[in-house]
A and B are shown apart, each in its own frame.
Chain A
Amino acid sequence: MSSTSTATAERPERATATGALVEFRGLRRAFGATVALDGLDLTARPGELLALLGPSGCGKTTALRVLAGFEQPDAGEVLVDGEDITRVPANRRDAGMVFQSYSLFPHLNARDNVAFGLRVRKVSAAERRARAAELLDLVGLPQHGDRFPHQMSGGQQQRVALARALALRPRVLLLDEPLSALDAKVRLTLREEIRRLQLSLGITTIFVTHDQEEALSMADRVAVLNAGRLEQCAPPAELYERPATPFVAEFVGAMNRLPGRLTDGGLVEVAGAELPVDGEIPAEREVEVLIRPENILATADPAGTATVVSASFFGSVTRVLLDLPGGGSVKSDVPSRDAGALTPGVRATVAPARRPVLVVPAAGKGA
């Protein structure tokens, strides 16, 4: 807590509760020819859970490692509560981290793993024990203090790692794909628990993931990174509903790319409908239109021109893949109770919902 109080003294207007303000400013980092970070600017607000989302190699892990002090940026700076920590060594950063791979010390049991940082700081044995017990309790493993890492499941190990990361009451919590090595069910429960813990502690958390579902379901805001740059940083709903760039549109959620033609008056003609255009309007008239599957209406119709190719049941919705007469195909999410007639081979009509759509030039980047 001491660190927080000093921060409070310096920047009283910013330090709310325990959450710290984290800023990346113009971060640049290249590994030989590959540019991992290409001028990244990003801010995590005090107490929020910010997810860094992007394809592999987009620089999200590098950004996190720069913040943890394991990677030095070629240019730019990292600020925590307004204080430049770019040159501070990793062991004095005051940021707890949970790693992607299991990172518990194999020779220590869960309690000693959690208390490791306290031991480094020469905290008394009794105090260490008490704090470790408290933290193991917090992550739901009060009975596991004596277990060694190899005696615990992956999920339990990551919980202990989380407890260890929180032991020193860090100002920032860094999660580097902590769930990616776990199986699906554990992943779901653990992500809810991480979120619950993060909210109750009010700690600023940066969560790196390549799993958009994880990012969208947990985070206050999601920052989508591509090729070392920030594409968009917005709350999950906004990211999904109003993607700022074609890359975000295609990376987050499923997306159809349909050939379209711009008409005069800012409309685009696609699949027999005229829709308003959202965002930038390209110079070319021949464009591709980005429409989400749930905004494509498909109905069984013997006179229809599209043909159902396949239908995958996803619970409440069924995703139907249809072949279009002019070549190409389209995905449509149909409520499952209406999808009974849409079996492979059936003729159907396809119509886009009347909503603003994003368009990209026809020869647009095939992201």
Chain B
Amino acid sequence: MAALTPTATPAAPAPAAPRKARDGGAARARRRPRVWRGAVLFLAGLYFLVPLLSSFVFTVRIPGQGLTFDAYTGILSAEGFTESLLLSLGLAAATILLALLLTVPALVAVRLGAPRLAPLVEIVCMLPLVVPPIALVTGVTTVLRWGPDHLSRTPLYQTFLAVQNESFPVVLVLAYTVLALPFVYRSLDAGLRAIDVPTLVEAARNCGASRPYVILRVILPNLRSSLAGASFLTLALVLGEFTIASLLGFRPFAVWIVTVSGAEARMSVAVSLLSLLITWALLLVLSRAGTRASSAAAPAPPAASAPSTAPAPAASSVSGKE
């Protein structure tokens, strides 16, 4: 997250300043610090790469039989792989959509109309960070159990059933939206901080633009990279989420991996590695979309490279579960 927030801002104000600072830093760091930088990089690389490499070796080397890629070739034909992956991607898309639809209007409105509410909105959005998923899922379970008992004679009963539909559990989207709120909020907040929303809105209004036009044509284009940031954090979160889905009895990708690991240890690790690659690939696509859009608009802000490292812990939590 910390790595994301500064880069997600379209570097509109004084783009020369950071460049200058970087140059100055390089000049100072010419001799000894370069060694230190290398050492730190090496250690960090070790920390990330050793588990990955070990996992990879584990999947391809069977003691006594030599190298085999069966674990990988078997994945596609494995029962439930495609469905669970597609389910996870669908959930991620829905969560991104819902989270953005909730936060973007709210944050813009707070900046324009009620700056005093900003701390309240921040607290509400950051709250899910301190509520552990296990507490959330307990609450959700209670509600799901309580609802049908009391609402069995009302149309709401059908709603409760629909929300828990196996093929697309809306309840997971709702829960994930709550979990994603802090990340989406932080990313958007950083983006909004970089632009002077009230002045831009007034300038656009002065040019004859209606309010919806201002939001669509002025505010959103300037938030592109932070919207992309919010999206890929949410994507990483949803692809790696295990606790809630598992306890509610659904089977998206992370849950499927854990299920498979019981029978096929090798394959489950292979899938974990693969999911890591898939996540990275998707993040790359998203961040590319973000930067290309913003580079088409303002050819400066380098938003792509750094954030791709941020979701790594979230994605690798899948493999960490085993």
Contact = CB atoms under 8 A, between A and B. Distances in A.
A108 B207 CA distance: 14
A162 to B, nearest CB: 12
Interface stretch (B51-59, B121-129, B178-186, B194-202): B194-202
B213 interface: yes
B114 to A, nearest CB: 15
A105 B218 contact: yes
A90 B195 CA distance: 21
Interface string A223-244: 0000000000000000000000
Contacts, number: 84
Interface string A163-196: 0110110000000000000000000000000000
B202 A99 contact: yes
A168 B208 contact: yes
B295 to A, nearest CB: 11
A120 B207 contact: yes
Interface string A97-130: 1010111111110000000110011000000000
A161 B208 CA distance: 15
Nearest to A115: B207
Contacts of A259: none
Given A148-B298, A149-B12, A150-B11, A107 B208 contact: no
Contacts of A161: 203
A69 B203 CA distance: 12
Contact of B203 (A93, A95, A97, A150): A97
28 contacts: A68-B202, A89-B205, A90-B202, A91-B207, A91-B209, A95-B206, A97-B203, A101-B199, A102-B196, A105-B200, A105-B203, A105-B204, A106-B12, A107-B298, A116-B204, A116-B209, A120-B207, A121-B208, A148-B298, A148-B299, A149-B12, A150-B11, A150-B12, A150-B13, A150-B14, A150-B298, A164-B203, A167-B207
A68 B196 contact: no
A44 B53 CA distance: 76
A120 B213 contact: yes
Contact of B202 (A103, A149, A167): A103
Given A69-B205, A107-B298, 6 more contacts: A70-B202, A103-B196, A106-B10, A107-B218, A116-B204, A117-B208
Given A148-B298, A150-B300, A103 B203 contact: yes
Q: Give the top 6 A-B pairs by smallest Cβ distance, nearest first.
A: A117-B207, A107-B297, A103-B203, A106-B12, A90-B205, A107-B221
A92 interface: yes
B222 interface: yes
Interface of B: 10-15, 195-196, 199-200, 202-210, 213, 218, 221-222, 224, 294, 297-300
Contacts of B195: 106
A92 B297 contact: no
Interface of A: 68-70, 89-93, 95-97, 99, 101-108, 116-117, 120-121, 148-150, 161, 164-165, 167-168
Contacts of B209: 91, 116-117, 120
B112 to A, nearest CB: 11
B208 A97 contact: no
Contact of A116 (B202, B207, B222, B224): B207
Given A99-B202, A103-B200, A120 B208 contact: yes
Contacts of A90: 202, 205-206
Contacts of A97: 202-203, 206
B206 A106 contact: no
B149 to A, nearest CB: 50
Given A96-B206, A121-B208, A106 B199 contact: no
B298 to A, nearest CB: 5
A121 B210 CA distance: 11
A104 B213 CA distance: 16
B233 to A, nearest CB: 22
